[in-house]
A = this chain, B = another copy of it.
């Protein structure tokens, strides 16, 4: 991994130092995160955004989504339950975000096999998301969709998706994050792995989706979206480790995760982030 300037960190230690600073900025600046997200996770996502120190706003209807994206600090577009009004509002928000220079995150939930969202994801991809977040199968499917529409195989691991992620990052001009036991982030040139986290995150609905909103919050505080995406991932997964220590199951884990995220300090993050 090439060593880059401090403002474009590439070495693990630099990325961790950057992550700690970025968390401090999110907590101090409280970026306004517009979420166009799925019906299952809206409440949890908003609570995660609040816990990390940012301000959520679920503005997701046509004629409001675009104007709001111009004033938001960051935007999340998550395709989990894409009703007709959201399908109209999402490109409106993405276009406005692009024009205004607002960073926006695309989470192509379950694309590949499902036709409506797969077509929508292809349209949104053409609008060049700042960050793309998904599991291995979704990233592989999206990389294929850009080149001609391959299917999705839910059995893919993160390692299987690294090439697709790098290719997608270069084609779309996006930072691409692949979630899994070890998360992988790449901008097509630089890449990093984040080894924090806990399997309980996969037992809470929205455990992945809410991370997309946190990536939008971090993308608001620095222009280096590779580094902010690594920072968001490490803050999120370090908090998950804290919560897992005392959890008696997925219910108490979700509660403790919000507490841990709200209590996380830049110093803790600097000590505990496992970036390689």
Contacts and interface: CB of A to CB of B under 8 A. Distances in A.
B203 A50 contact: yes
Given A47-B250, A47-B251, A51-B250, 7 more contacts: A41-B43, A47-B205, A63-B116, A64-B115, A83-B85, A249-B258, A252-B255
Contacts of A251: 47, 51, 254-259, 262
A96 interface: no
A252 B259 CA distance: 7
Interface of A: 38-44, 46-47, 50-51, 56-61, 63-64, 67-68, 71, 80-85, 110, 113-117, 203-206, 247-252, 254-263
Copies per complex of this chain: 3
Nearest to A60: B81
Contact of A43 (B44, B58, B68, B252): B44
A156 to B, nearest CB: 16
27 contacts: A40-B43, A40-B58, A42-B43, A46-B205, A47-B251, A47-B254, A51-B203, A51-B250, A51-B251, A56-B205, A57-B110, A58-B81, A61-B81, A63-B115, A63-B116, A64-B116, A67-B114, A84-B85, A203-B262, A249-B259, A249-B261, A250-B259, A250-B262, A251-B257, A252-B258, A252-B259, A254-B258
A-B complex: 8 closest residue pairs judged by Cβ atoms? A251-B258, A249-B259, A46-B205, A251-B255, A249-B262, A40-B42, A251-B259, A248-B259
Contact of A83 (B61, B82, B260): B61
A116 to B, nearest CB: 5
A113 to B, nearest CB: 8
A100 B71 CA distance: 42
B64 A39 contact: no
A203 B113 CA distance: 37
A114 B59 contact: yes
A250 B257 CA distance: 10
Given A251-B51, A254-B251, A64 B259 contact: no
A204 B50 contact: yes
Contacts of A204: 47, 50
Contacts of A248: 256, 259, 263
A58 B83 contact: no
